Structure 1
Amino acid sequence: MTSRFATAEFRRAASVGRVREAVSNVRANNNNRNNASLPRAGD
């Protein structure tokens, strides 16, 4: 395994991680928006 191959794999894994993080952030924002319009149990 060459260092160049290892670097490419690391970059690919890092970019996939960033995409997953962005997707989860968008989902969390949508959930927060939806929940804000609903009455909460404590209110």
Structure 2
Amino acid sequence: MHKCGILSEYGRVGVSFEQVLAYNPDVILVYQRQFFDEIFNDKKW
């Protein structure tokens, strides 16, 4: 679980790719459809 301080707009907070790798999650929820579509074409994912 990501711990954060003051939340940004609508309670969302940015997380870097490196943070995601460190967390090693089973599931990743994304907010933006464009990002969702692009991660399948990004080799680092």
The structure whose RCO (Cα within 8 Å, separation 6+) is larger is: 2
Q: TM-score, normalised by structure 1?
A: 0.25
Structure number with the higher helix fraction is 1
Larger radius of gyration: 1
